[in-house]
Amino acid sequence: MKYIFIDIDGVVLKDNKLNNELLDVLKLKKVKYVFCTGRGYYRTLDVVKNYISMEDIIIVENGSKILSSNGEIIASYPITDEEVVKIRDIDYTDIEYALYVPNGTCDYIVYDKKDFSEKLKHSKLITKNFNIFLNELKNKGASQLTIKFKKSFNQELFDSYIKAAGLNCSKSEDYYSINHKHISKKSAIENIILKYKIKKEEVIIIGNDYNDIEMFQLDVGYKIAVIDDNTPSDLIINATNITSFDDIASLLEEII
């Protein structure tokens, strides 16, 4: 039996186009598969609610939470109080919006200067006051903070602070996500492999972006890198094979 851990953005969904051929292969071949994404629970269901498998397990928030399809938290790895203090010291001058999910819930708390929050159906709090947002983060906790900066923001300065502070930060498209140190998609997959006693040679991993690099470092059977203009070289180096968004389904059929 093959066990497939599959990213969503850039793999299942690209430019608002759903990869129906890939999703049909997953269902028709009756393989075990787990969606493994940086998205939160509700934003994950917006895309794949009709395709949940592997006993309804999904990995969200870059491995910080493992949930059932009905939102039950199976495992959660919150950002620590010490990390929250460091997060509060980030220079947010050029922030466009930020969001997180309070521990123990699936609802979003959002800071938004413009109108992104209107696209989030499940927002518990929307505020244009960033101090309120940060105070909520301190009081209610989170497993992941997702930040969208303006195009003009100083990435070099941001990266320098993240490195100096020892924070775990991954990039996906134009988003930056901060999680608890040592937590990633890789750690979540390792937990599932251990829990279900899955043979590593039976594991297939599919991804395309920076937040997929660590799971591509796993010593498992097969790793497919989905190539686009932004695919990091560290992902390609660790891939068994490379493909495009339109050709994932045909390659996967060959493997399984």
φ/ψ of 144, rounded to 5, equals -155, 135
- Give per-residue pLDDT as tens, 17-49: 999 999 999 888 878 899 999 999 999 998 998
CATH class of 81-179: alpha beta
User: For the chain, how many residues are written?
Assistant: 256
197 conformational bin, left if phi > 0, alpha if psi -120 to 50, beta if neither: left
Q: Using 50, 70 and 90 to split pLDDT, how confident is the model at 53? A: low
pLDDT beyond 90 at 118? no
117 phi/psi in degrees, rounded to 5 = -60, -25
Residue 52 has, within 13 A of its CA and on its CB side, a CA count of 19
148 token code pair: 């969208």
d(CA 95, CA 189): 31
User: In this predicted model, what pLDDT tens digit does every residue of 92-104 receive, in sequence order?
Assistant: 888 888 999 998 8
58-103 pLDDT per residue, tens: 999 999 999 988 888 899 999 999 999 999 888 888 888 899 999 8
Q: For 78-129, where are the alpha helices, taking DSSP H only?
A: 81-88
C-alpha torsion sign, points 163, 166, 169, 174: negative
CATH code of the region 3-76+183-255:
3.40.50.1000
Give yes or no for residue 117 having a pLDDT over 70. no
- Hey, where are the domains in the chain? 3-76+183-255, 81-179
Question: What six digits make up the tokens of 140?
Answer: 């209610």
Global confidence as pTM: 0.92
Topology match between the domains 3-76+183-255 and 81-179: no
